[in-house]
Structure formats: structure tokens, C-alpha cells
Amino acid sequence: MYAIFEDGSRQYRVYEHDVIDVDVRDLPEGTQQVEFSHVLLIGDEKKQGSTRVGQPWLSGVKVVAKVQNEVKDEKVTITKYSRRKGYRRNTGHRQRFMRVQIEKILC
């Protein structure tokens, strides 16, 4: 069974026990689970015709995930340059993500 859910401005297709990176969110200290309730579609590849599509979301369906840790993406360097002006600026950015493991898809 798989599900497609929306988190922030992104959509994720997940199976049970998948590990994905989602945007960091403020959670209370000691929180071990996160629920994603904006499920767009669920389906089973083994059963023909068992796909359910929400308009826009499916009611009563959610994806439960276990929080593993917080990770950082690769560094992105930003360079600004103007020729013949002596202007050069270098900055960098590392995006933070929350790594979660999908435990259940509750229908």
C-alpha cells in the first residue's frame, strides 16, 4: 500500500517503512511521532481498482511517521558579481530537514 500526501508545498509518495526528509517544524520536546493528515491518494498495487483519490484530501486517512533526527542538506554557495565594479559577494546556505520513517498508513 502506498500514499501520496502533501506537506508544506511538496507532495511525497511513500510506502510503509520508507525514510524521507520533510521540512523542519517546531515540535514539543520528546515528540516521537508526526501525523500527516493531508493525504491526496492511497492505493495498493496488488489490488486492481483499490485506488482512492481525494478532492482535495481524503477524510479519515492519515500517514503516521516516527521522527528519527534532524539533518542538513549539502551546502549551496551563492555568488554575486558585477564586472568592472570590484563587487564580489559569496554566501552559503544549508537547508535543515527532519528525517522521518513512515510507520503506518491509516485508512
Per the rule left: phi > 0, alpha: psi between -120 and 50, beta: everything else, 22 is beta
Three-state DSSP state, 94: coil
Domain boundaries, the chain: 2-70+96-106
Q: What is the pTM of this model?
A: 0.83
pLDDT classification of 69: cutoffs 50, 70, 90: very high
Q: How far apart are CA 68 and CA 70, in angstroms?
A: 7
Residue 12 scores a pLDDT above 90: yes
Which of residues 106 and 45 earns the better pLDDT score?
106
Residue 48 scores a pLDDT above 90: no
Q: How far apart are CA 84 and CA 54, in angstroms?
A: 56
Percentage of the chain lying above the pLDDT 90 cut: 90
